[in-house]
């Protein structure tokens, strides 16, 4: 009978629903587990052989072992029950909020063992309930005060909840919205798509967003940006929470901007067509003026008769030639903008082309003492390009450099191979330069950068097309034109042509 009682007590200890350990103090001050029930083993997530007969330092980490040891020492010294109220986390799936440590005394009052019993906090359920209530209250507050419209729909698409912002923005009352199919708020042309998307979103549980058109109560259409997310509650109940942001004004602005851009494009094409037509019309009489004035200056059909008339004829010839240059620039720019300038491509020997342009420009700058130097190797490869356009590019750049260089100044033209087989060509001067904030303006058509044209210290007034034309012509070849300038120090224009246009000169 006594043996059966012991067996019953052992069985009861083993199957207790809370962790329980019997601890004995060792000779070296260690605390050894002499017994451990099933829940204790589960709590520490260890087999019995790694707990029973082992010091607590062997199956606990150092922090937890220290925590237990302090409680054990208190229990031993006072011979009264001690507790571990705030136990640090111990690995294991079972949650225990502390332990009672009770001394087991012999007849003399000495402590034989320490009975360590898991402590279940009877307040746990009320705490969890209170936390859940607080969380629900917080979420409800966020839902109600949000300035973004929020609607909640069930699996079938019926509205089960809607916040104040949605009611306020779209005019419907809450009673009018609850329990209706949400697609009744969607415009007719988008209802089927909205219904399909709702079913897909709530089934798969993916977060999604997009644009939709909703009907306000007074009948107007609102463009909205929505974001939907699936919410799954108990008993596998699924709801779709959708935030709705009104973007009607933004869509109207986009439409207005699109319309304005279309009108600007139409006006720009009309301007380009007008300039192209007018340029052709103007060039015909100008060619006659230039031709006849040249015949009169040469005295082809006899002398003019007066030196003053001859001087005037020279002015007429020069002015007509300058006007023709301007018209040609405008015509080229209008063709480029209209996309009608086609490249007449061939292999262009860059060293020869640049040399001829430098010699031509040097003859024009002789009187002003401006020196143009060239640093282009003779074996610089050819460029597969339009010879006329490249010539025009460098004439424009050198003309600009001359305009803005002081008497006795220096201009350099250089060429070299760049990285990855590209070719880099540069025109540099030491003239008045351009302020940093006006560099972009200088690259725009008609974008002269002087604040007061009458105060420009240049040799002649231009149209502001030289740099933009050069940039556009370089870009037509797939290249890149960059302008580096310091006010009062000078300007360097760099052109980089792609490797596929670089061709080695045949030996």
- Tell me how far apart the alpha carbons of residues 415 and 406 are, in angstroms, rounded to a whole number: 24
Percent of the chain with pLDDT over 70: 85
Q: What is the mean pLDDT of residues 243-263?
A: 88
The answer to whether 331 touches 275, Cβ cutoff 8 Å, is yes
Q: What is the mean pLDDT of residues 7-30?
A: 84
In the predicted model, what is the mean pLDDT of the chain?
82
In terms of average pLDDT, the best of 70-84, 117-131, 293-307 is 70-84
Q: What is the mean pLDDT of residues 205-224?
A: 88
**More confident of the two residues 294 and 131:** 294
Q: What is the mean pLDDT of residues 17-42?
A: 90
Residue 237 has pLDDT above 70, yes or no: yes
> If pLDDT is split at 50, 70 and 90, which confidence band does 102 have?
very high
Residue with tokens 């204790």: 40
Q: What is the mean pLDDT of residues 434-455?
A: 64
- What domains sit in the chain, N to C, each tagged with a CATH number? 2-121 (3.30.450.20), 144-246 (3.30.450.20), 257-335 (1.10.287), 345-503 (3.30.565.10)
Q: What is the mean pLDDT of residues 131-143?
A: 65
- Tell me how far apart the alpha carbons of residues 415 and 397 are, in angstroms, rounded to a whole number: 14
- Tell me how far apart the alpha carbons of residues 171 and 215 are, in angstroms, rounded to a whole number: 10
Q: Which residues contact 476 (CB under 8 A, 6 or more apart)?
A: 336, 341, 343, 386, 389
pLDDT-wise least confident of 156-160, 300-304, 453-457, 465-469: 453-457
Residue 235 has pLDDT above 90, yes or no: no
Q: What is the mean pLDDT of residues 371-386?
A: 90
> If pLDDT is split at 50, 70 and 90, which confidence band does 236 have?
confident
Q: What is the mean pLDDT of residues 481-491?
A: 88
Residue 306 has pLDDT above 50, yes or no: yes
Residue 30 has pLDDT above 60, yes or no: yes
What pLDDT shows up at residue 454? 40
3-state secondary structure 280-294: HHHHHHHHHHHHHHH
First-to-final CA distance of the chain: 118
> If pLDDT is split at 50, 70 and 90, which confidence band does 22 have?
very high
pLDDT in tens, 343-361: 889 999 999 999 988 888 8
- Tell me how far apart the alpha carbons of residues 36 and 47 are, in angstroms, rounded to a whole number: 10
What pLDDT shows up at residue 451? 45
What pLDDT shows up at residue 125? 52
Residue 431 has pLDDT above 60, yes or no: yes
């Amino acid at each position: 009978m006594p043996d059966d009682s012991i067996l019953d007590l052992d069985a009861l200890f083993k199957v207790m629903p809370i962790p329980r350990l019997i601890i004995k103090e060792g000779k070296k001050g260690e605390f050894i587990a002499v017994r451990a029930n099933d829940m204790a083993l589960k709590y520490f997530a260890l087999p019995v052989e790694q707990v029973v007969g082992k010091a607590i330092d062997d199956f606990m980490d150092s922090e937890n072992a220290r925590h237990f040891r302090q409680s054990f020492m208190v229990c031993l010294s006072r011979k009264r029950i001690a507790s571990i109220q705030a136990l640090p986390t111990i690995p294991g799936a079972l949650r225990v909020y502390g332990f009672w440590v009770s001394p087991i005394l012999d007849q003399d009052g000495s402590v034989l063992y320490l009975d360590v019993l898991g402590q279940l906090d009877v307040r746990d359920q009320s705490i969890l309930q209170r936390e859940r209530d607080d969380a629900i209250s917080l979420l409800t507050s966020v839902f109600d005060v949000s300035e973004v419209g929020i609607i909640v729909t069930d699996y079938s698409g019926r509205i089960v909840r809607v916040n104040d912002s949605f009611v306020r923005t779209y005019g419907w009352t809450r009673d009018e919205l609850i329990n209706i199919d949400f697609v009744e708020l969607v415009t007719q042309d988008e209802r089927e798509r909205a219904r399909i998307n709702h079913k897909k979103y709530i089934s798969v549980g993916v977060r999604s967003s997009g644009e939709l058109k909703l009907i306000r109560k007074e009948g107007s259409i609102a463009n909205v940006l929505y974001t939907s997310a699936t919410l799954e509650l108990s008993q596998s109940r699924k709801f779709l929470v959708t935030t709705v942001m009104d973007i009607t004004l933004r869509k109207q602005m986009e439409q207005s901007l699109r319309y304005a851009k279309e009108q600007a494009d139409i006006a720009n094409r009309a301007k380009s067509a007008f300039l192209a037509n007018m340029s052709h019309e103007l060039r015909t009489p100008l060619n006659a003026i230039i031709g006849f004035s040249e015949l009169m200056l040469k005295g082809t059909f006899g002398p003019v008769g007066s030196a003053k008339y001859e001087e005037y004829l020279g002015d007429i010839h020069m002015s007509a030639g300058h006007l023709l240059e301007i018209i040609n620039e405008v015509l080229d720019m209008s063709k480029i903008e209209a996309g009608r300038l086609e490249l007449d491509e061939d292999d262009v020997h860059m060293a020869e082309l640049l040399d001829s342009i430098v010699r031509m420009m040097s003859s024009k700058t002789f009187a002003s003492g401006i020196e143009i130097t060239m640093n282009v190797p003779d074996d610089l490869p050819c460029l597969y390009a339009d010879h006329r356009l490249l010539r025009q590019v460098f004439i424009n750049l050198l003309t600009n450099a001359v305009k803005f260089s002081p008497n006795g100044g220096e201009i350099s033209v250089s060429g070299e191979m760049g990285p990855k087989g590209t070719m880099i060509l540069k025109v540099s001067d030491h003239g008045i330069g351009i302020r940093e904030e006006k560099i972009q303006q200088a690259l725009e058509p008609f974008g002269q950068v002087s604040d007061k044209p009458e105060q420009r210290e240049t040799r002649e007034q231009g149209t502001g097309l030289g740099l933009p034309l050069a940039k556009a012509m370089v870009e037509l070849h797939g290249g890149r034109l960059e302008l580096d300038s310091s006010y009062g120090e000078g300007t360097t224009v760099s052109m980089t042509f792609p490797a596929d246009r670089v061709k080695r000169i045949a030996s």
